Structure 1
């Protein structure tokens, strides 16, 4: 099967372009600060407990009629602008979250052939596609991946407590409330932001590697989008 790239759920072939080679995927680097102390030999290290973004360069080429060369390149630039989700055909179960994309100048090797490079600056984690759907809490208690930043969807009426690994967040729910721990925001199903409805730390609701405990006050329903990811 021919290698392909999908960006924001659209295949590169839909724009008449193809990747030249499979890209190299860099290993994310830990954010480690090196500290020096005057008068003291050596250094100290400070682990900021995060990873640096990664860059995935992909070279594309295309073949066209001479009078359509510019059109194909313009359409490709428009498609590859901004951020979104990047999928690679040889890793079909995962995707990358793209912060932004930069495109190099196109090289016109012949009247019909063009070549350019797109550089995708991404979140350091690769995300499991299955981790983007809703689960019952009992289905996500074991996390075999890296620490996850889930979305919790609560249904009910009144004040409840969402407890994850013995740490709780208080939520005042009016029929429904969504708690997004990655974006650190709470909102209703219609998109209305409702941060004042919760009190507590979003970080306390992360799913650690391995086994977790999740609880909700009786009388409230809970669904979880785990956002499983790997470094």
Structure 2
């Protein structure tokens, strides 16, 4: 039995649809957490402290063109490899990366010189598990089990008036007018129509993350809560 070659999907399309193929395994550069070094008189070695931020990751893919219609293939590839979207590999179909930007350089020049070209996907430093996009409706209080690493969920609250959302004892208060979305990754609150409501919430977004294991979640009586966990692994 011949094993299928590794390929990938970007914006739900594969390179084979554009007359190209993945020449080699992707190169995934791990995320680096930013830190500060402080020299203290009399201390051997610097004091290293994290500032809590993590750089985006780079995923490099080397592609070759096999389509004889060279110019039209280049045009279609350039159009496909623009903007942002989801990136997944055929050998790990249950997970994906969120692409923020694509750098493909001068494809025509690379192909003429080397026979291949390199595409660099700039991604959020997290590998998302596909089931993490599902929405979980919770009662006024309950447990949500996270089998993965710490995740940055989205909370959707419906109701009217002042509401308190509690996650593992950490509270965020919100003035809800029919609906409110609390997005912990983007550190933003907004309505379903896109209206930004950051001034309507009080609390720390970071403390609403879902930790590995059991997470106790509650919302004020009279309100309904949905959670989109976006769980997975730190890249």
Tell me, in whole angstroms, the C-alpha distance in 2 between the residues paired with 1:29 and 1:90.
Answer: 25
Q: Give the secondary-structure state (helix, strand or coil) at the position aligned to 1:31.
A: strand
Task: Give 1:217 shift.
Answer: 0.8
Preserved contact between residue 63 and residue 114 of structure 1 (Cα < 8 Å): no
Paired residues of 1:86 and 1:96 also in contact (CA < 8 A): yes
* Alignment partner, residue 86 of structure 1: 87
Partner-residue secondary structure (3-state), 1:213:
strand
Partner of residue 57, structure 1: 60
For 1:26, the equivalent position in structure 2 comes to: 29
What stretches of structure 2 of length at least 5 have no aligned partner?
Answer: none
In the other structure, the counterpart of 1:118 is 119
Deviation at 1:225, TM superposition (A): 0.2
Q: Which residue of 1 aligns with 2:99?
A: 98
In the aligned structure 1, how far is the partner of 2:47 from the partner of 2:176? 47
Residues 65-80 of structure 1 aligned to structure 2 (within 5 Å): 65=68, 68-80=69-81
Q: Does 1:216 align with 2:227?
A: no
CA–CA distance in structure 2, aligned partners of residues 41 and 157 of structure 1:
57
Does the 8 Å CA contact 1:60/1:117 hold for their aligned counterparts?
yes
Note closer, same or farther for the CA distance 1:210–1:200 as it changes in structure 2 (3 Å cut). Answer: same
Deviations 1:5-44 (A, max 9, x none): 1112222222222111221333333333333346755322
TM-score (ref. length: structure 2) = 0.86
Q: Who is 1:197 aligned against?
A: 200
Structure 1 stretch 33-42 or stretch 194-203: which is displaced more? 33-42
Structure 1, 95-104 or 25-34: larger mean CA deviation: 25-34
CA 1:109/1:97 → structure 2, altered by over 3 Å: closer, same or farther?
A: same
Task: Give me the TM-score of the superposition, normalised by structure 1.
Answer: 0.87
